[in-house]
Structure 1
Amino acid sequence: MLQYLIVCPLLFLAGFIDAIGGGGGLISIPAYIISGVPVHNAIATNKLSSCMGTGLTTWQYWVNGYIRPKLALLCVAAALVGSPVGAEIALRIDADVFKLLMLVILPVTAFYVLKKKDIGKNEEELSFKKTAVISVAAALIVGMYDGFYGPGTGTFLMLLLTGAAKLDIYTAAGTTKAINLTTNIGSMMIYLLNGKVIFLLGLAAGVFNMAGNFLGARFFRDKGSDIVRPIIMVVLVIFFIKILIEMVG
C-alpha cells in the first residue's frame, strides 16, 4: 500500500509535466525506486504507466489536429533508427563522460529557454521539405540520445522542433508525443517478454498518469507556449540536479 501512496501521486505529477514539456520520466522513475521497486522493474513498470498516459495525450493531440501524419511518421521512423544506434554507443562510451557533457549542455539549454520568450511562435515558416529534413534529423539525434541515456527526451525534441524546424508549439508537441508513444511501446514489449513489469502497480500508476496527462494536455491547449516555457525550465533544473547527484554519488 505504501508503494501505491508514493508512486501514484508522483505519476500524476509526472503525467501533467510530460504532457506539456516532456521529461516526466525524471519524476516517475525515481518515484518507483523510492517506493522500493528494484531499478530494472522500476524502468519496466514505468514504461507500462507511461504508455497509458502518453497514449491518452497522443490521442488528445491527434483529435485537436496537432499531429501531421506524414511528418510524424517520418520522425517516428528516424527515432526508431536512432535509438538502437544510441544503445550501441552506450556500450562503447563511459556514461560519466556523457554526464559531464550534459552538465554543460543543460545550462546552455536553460539559457536559450530563458532568452526565447516565444517558444513555438515562429514568424518564419519553412517549406514542407525543409521542415521534414530538419525534423527527421532532430528525431534521429534525439532517438540516439534516448537509446544512449534517455531522460528529458521529449523536452529536447520539443526545443529542436520549434527552434530548428520552425514548427509551431502545437505541431511540435504532437510530433513529440507520437515519437514518445512509439518508442515507449517498443521498449515495453521487450520488458514484458522478460517479465520485468509489475502489472498491478503499473496499471494503478498508469491511471494516475493518464489523469495527469489529461489535465496537462488541457492546460497546454489553453496556455500554449506560456505554460511550456516554465515547465521546460523545471525539467531542465531537475535533470541538472539529478546528474549532479549521480556524479557525486
Structure 2
Amino acid sequence: MNNDIIGTTDNLRTKRFYHGTRAELSPGDSIDPRNPLDVGERDRMTTYVYLTPNLDEAIWEAEIAVGEGSGRVYIVEPIGQVGDVSDLTDWKPSGHPSMSCYSREPLRVAGEVTDWTLYHGTRADLKPGDLIKPGHTPNFGNKSRTTNYVYLTRTLDAAMWGAELAVGEGSGRIYIVEPTGSIEDDPNLTNQKFQGNPTKSFRSREPLRVTSEIADWQGHSPEAIEAMKDGLERLERLGVEPIDD
C-alpha cells in the first residue's frame, strides 16, 4: 500500500482501507475516480474516489449505492495520495456513517469482505458461551410485552446504539455473537429511512451465543444519544410500536 498519505497519522497508514459499491469486481481491478458516482447523480463525473479505514462506513456506502446488484465491500489499496473528505469544498456531513477518505487516483481491489463479525449491544453482564434469548422486556415501545426476537448487527455503530439505548442500570456492553438459528433483516430498520439495510441489523427467534466482548469501543456523543432518545420518545407518544411479530 502506498504510504504517501495526506493529512493522516502513521496509525492510519497501517490500517486496511475499504470501498463500498454495488459493482462486481475482482482482485487486481481498478476503481477509477472518473467513473459515474455510485451514490447520487449518475450523469456527472467525479475527480476522486472514496475509501475508508472504517468498515461500518463502507457497509453504509455499499448499501445505499445506486444499482441493482448486491452491496459489496472491497478491501482496496490506494495507488496515490489519500485525503480527508472534510477537506473537500463540496463535502457535507451525511448524518450517518459515510466514507471518510478520498483519492484522486484509482484504488486497486485486493479482495472482498465475505467473513462478517456479528454484534449485540446490551447492558447485560455476559461471558463467552452465554445465550442471549428472546422473551425479554423490550428496549423500546410497550414495556409490558416481551420480545419474540433477539437482535444482532454487522456494524459496530448499530451495536453501540443498542448498548447505549438499552434499558437497565449497568454499563453498555457490546458482544460478538453467533446465531444458533436462522436470521432475517430487522424490519424496523430495513427500507425505512434508507432503502435496504445499511445498518446491517438482523433478528432471530433463536438464541445468540456470546463468543467474546468488545472492550475498547468509543460511543456516540451525549448530544447524539439524547437526540436519539428524544426521537424514540416522540414515536412512543405517537403510539408507534416496533415490529416484533
TM normalised by structure 2 equals 0.25
Greater RCO (CA < 8 Å, at least 6 residues apart) = 1
Task: Point out the structure with the larger helix share.
Answer: 1
Larger Rg: 2
TM-score of the aligned structures, taking structure 1 as reference length: 0.25
The structure with the largest strand share of the pair is 2
